[in-house]
Structure 1
């Protein structure tokens, strides 16, 4: 991509952003945040879920005895 094409692209994106109403931009941001996975999964992947399941299985075994 040439530099003039890149500048044109950035300008178009900026103009599109500025033309959308503030409430609409805010609503879109909130929807994106709602769709994101929890922070612990973003940082550590599936490890926290695996640990949680492991601890739950140990607790259930201890309650049976």
Structure 2
């Protein structure tokens, strides 16, 4: 893929994302967060979840 083709592709992706309503963008972000958390739990068990909770508690102090 040449540089111009890649630039065209990325521009199309950005424009299509910007054209989405804000509610749809929020739904996509939330779905991606859920998918990422399921992936880490599936591959690494409860360890990432435990570390995440520990870091959140430390940051809230």
What's the TM-score, normalizing by structure 1?
Answer: 0.55
| Structure 2 unmatched runs, 5+ | 48-61
Q: RCO higher in 1 or 2 (8 Å CA, sep ≥ 6)? A: 2
CA RMSD across the alignment: 2.8
What's the TM-score, normalizing by structure 2?
Answer: 0.58
Structure of higher CA gyration radius: 1
2:17 aligns with 17
| Structure 1 unmatched runs, 5+ | 49-65
